[in-house]
Chains A and B, each alone.
Chain A
Amino acid sequence: MTELIVGPFNRVEGDLEVRLELRDGAVAAAYANSPLFRGFEVMLDGADPRDALTLTPRICGICSISQSAAAAHALADAAGAEMPEQGALAAAILHGVENLADHVTHFNLFFMPDFARLAYEARSWHSEMVERFTAAKGASQHAALEARARLFHVTGILGGKWPHTLAIQPAGVTRVPDAADRVRIVSILKSFRRHLEARLFGGRLEDFAGLSGLADLEAWTQGDAGLFLRASADLGLAEAGQGPRRYLSYGAYPLASGRVTRAGVWAGSGVSDAATGEIVEHVAQSWMLGTAAHPYDGATRPDEAMGAPGYSWCKAPRLDGQTCEVGALARQIVDGHPLALALADEGSVRARIAGRLLEIARTQMWLEDWTQALDPTAQFMGDFTVPKSGRGVGLVEAARGALGHWVVIEDGRIANYQIIAPTTWNFSPRDADGQPGPLEAALVGAPVAEGETAPLSVQHIVRSFDPCMVCTVH
């Protein structure tokens, strides 16, 4: 048995260290360490509840609007406030743009450059990967970067800026779009669709979103998506990095008519309701003091001694005592999309990337529909008053998966604020029962070649989750 520590693990958002125990040329055990503690939950203790709207987006520069939306919904829940129909729609557009941009950033900047590595020089697809995805130089990277910057003009219009907008409030949004804003957003989205169809998919979004099974997927050869699928087939990524195959989604985009994607848990056969009241965060193997608790009763007290058996600042959330995988794949499975369902049991690197591609196509179409439905004559902001006391939960879907904020208010101040971010689920350390987190389990069995210091199999698996480490510990 030998040990390998992989870090700094880059092209993930934030800081990640992975410790591997190797046996017979494969990973025998893995330990995910989130090595940065900032303590946002501690900062919010005693604060004016409204400060959460300014501070929590700054947990993360890539999931900023997701954090903002979760905070707004938690405060709205505590106050009994609601967004007017059009306010919720504008908030969904802001959030959808961030999620769409994040997926595209992940694919082009974070995930794909590994296939352009020299180690893959002999592969038939390598020269195309080099041309499109060499880090900082690839043609697809540059095209995606420019398309992404233009897409964020939507947040310039509706949200002032990105990241760290304060436009989403518990009872609506701060800026009412006018008719000209609406048509500008329509044209920005058309331009982004052109980019996606020309580069990423090499075909119509409707066609990719219409794929219904593995054979369909494997027959998709066009665009960067097709290039990935070719490399994936060659490298066996459909068999790599299998997750717990228990998928959780809170349901994305709360509109007046309900959430756009279904909420629930998928575990082998169909979707059941997610009993979010049963979520428990363990701290037994985290550098945290205290005991396992539901977030309403949770605490964040860092163990300054960083004592064993703790090995990460991340807590270990469990639903019904079990780990869950969250993210685009989970969301699409829980929503019942046929392609995602066909990938559910596979639960692999390929499945996660395909799930994300599927969601890129669907999110672009949702954004187009929502913008068509935007009514500049309507009301966008309702009433909100900070309650003297109460508690509330805000459950949203960030690009990387299920994000929850739980707030307890006493005497008009925050008495407790707890956050479970998507990567807290996916990259959690072991819990009190020694059960590894989803990534830790997914890494077991990954092949490690002689002399590899950062095994490529491990890099593909880790990045397939699109971890956001700054959100994870917060």
Chain B
Amino acid sequence: MNLLWLQSAGCGGCTMSLLCAEDPNVLELLEDAGINLLWHPAISEATGAEANAILQSVLSGDTALDILCVEGSIVTGPNGTGRFHILSGTGRPMLDWCRSLAPLAEHVVAVGTCAAFGGVTAAGGNPSGAVGLQFDGSQAGGALASEFRGRAGLPVINVAGCPTHPGWVTETLLLLASGALGAEALDGFNRPRFYTDHLVHHACPKNEYYEYKASARRLSELGCMMEHLGCIGTQAVGDCNIRPWNGGGSCTRGGYPCIACTSPDFEDPQLTFTETPKVAGIPVGLPTDMPKAWFMALASLSKAATPERISKNAKSDRIEVAPKPKRERSG
């Protein structure tokens, strides 16, 4: 099956992350899945007129387009023209290219939060008029109408993340290639549920601190980053702490907060990315599926019950007090 990859208005980081795929490497994985890379801006030989010929052949229908991957937001500025991003050598805005190519594709995949929702390119007043392929932030309808469906019947599949985990992209492509990704496999923002049915909170190494609301006060301290440091891993979808990044990492494992980069509008935090907004000293944006009063009651109880080991370690940048299981022998 044929895959065409376009880089629209983004940073290219989702491709760079994809190239970190391991066992097998991404090129082998695609080949073994029978996915033929028609063209990819970072990988393919074809450049200039050769690349243009490939695009024209898809447009004319001579080459079948099974999967169209778009990485990066679609810029609509200035004034709705899309001319802040003209696909080089073609004189046509990427906005037009996406609108022409998407209806020809069996499946359209938005790779990364920019392509899905606008993402970071839409931050800070959105100077370029960036939108996602089928969403503008959390609003349905982006460069393509909300009614758009690929020829196979699915809406744009939003593999959101900033960047995307290589596994999220490869597994989406593998499922598509094997005909195993249906509408029921997508969540309310059309993200693949195989990774959005999890929260970043799941398997976060700071979970014990969270249980006791033993909080870090500044970056590098081991405690939970929800109360003070802007972490919204309890509300952010993603299996970031279940499957490793780059061999074993994640944002919270790296000592900095989850900023919910898989979510629409994450790019404009209420306060700043690394500080929790509070009302009367209470963090806003507590877990959404738990009554607030219960949360507060449990939090104050658990805070009062915090073992010294946890409260000390939470405020340290390394383990100060080791756990002492009952059966540990002394000496």
A interface list, Cβ under 8 A from B = 5-11, 13-17, 33, 35-39, 42-48, 50-51, 53-55, 58-62, 64, 105, 109-110, 113-114, 116-117, 134-137, 141-142, 145-146, 148-150, 152-153, 155-167, 169, 172-176, 178, 302, 304, 306, 313, 376, 379-381, 453-454, 459, 470
Nearest 5 CB-CB pairs, A to B? Answer: A160-B254, A61-B13, A7-B89, A43-B124, A7-B88
Q: Is the CB of B254 within 8 A of A163?
A: no
- B130-145 CB contacts (< 8 Å) to partner A: 130
Q: Is the CB of B11 within 8 A of A59?
A: yes
Q: Sample 6 A-B pairs with CB under 8 A, ordered by A number.
A: A8-B87, A10-B39, A61-B12, A116-B45, A148-B19, A159-B254
Give Cα A64 to B20, complex, Å: 15
Residue of chain B at shortest CB distance from A15: B88
Contact digits for B296-331, partner A, Cβ 8 Å, 1 yes 0 no: 000000000000000000000110000000000000
Majority SS at the chain B contact face: loop
Q: Which residues of A contact B12 (CB under 8 A)?
A: 13-14, 60-62, 470
| B25 at interface by CB-CB < 8 Å | yes
The answer, among A17, A116, A161, A178, for a CB contact under 8 Å with B249, is A161
Q: Is the CB of B274 within 8 A of A381?
A: no
Q: Which residues of B contact A163 (CB under 8 A)?
A: 11, 13, 16-17, 163
Q: Is the CB of B248 within 8 A of A153?
A: yes
B interface list, Cβ under 8 A from A = 7, 9-17, 19-22, 25-28, 37, 39-52, 75, 77-79, 83-90, 120-121, 123-128, 130, 162-163, 218-220, 244-257, 259, 261, 267, 269, 271-275, 317-318
The answer, among A13, A61, A136, for a CB contact under 8 Å with B27, is A136
Q: Is the CB of B220 within 8 A of A10?
A: no
Q: Which residues of A contact B246 (CB under 8 A)?
A: 149, 152-153, 155-156, 161-162
Q: Is the CB of B90 within 8 A of A50?
A: no
Chain A nearest CB: distance from B159 CB in Å? 15
Q: Is the CB of B42 within 8 A of A109?
A: yes
> Contacts A8-B41, A453-B48 given: A142-B28 contact, CB under 8 Å?
yes
Q: Which residues of A contact B247 (CB under 8 A)?
A: 150, 152-153, 156-157
> Contacts A37-B128, A169-B219 given: A15-B50 contact, CB under 8 Å?
no
Q: Is the CB of A45 within 8 A of B44?
A: no
> Contacts A8-B41, A141-B27, A142-B25 given: A176-B19 contact, CB under 8 Å?
no
Chain A nearest CB: distance from B250 CB in Å? 6
Give Cα A313 to B219, complex, Å: 37
Q: Is the CB of A145 within 8 A of B41?
A: no
Q: Which residues of A contact B252 (CB under 8 A)?
A: 160
Q: Which residues of B contact A10 (CB under 8 A)?
A: 39-42, 44, 46-47, 51
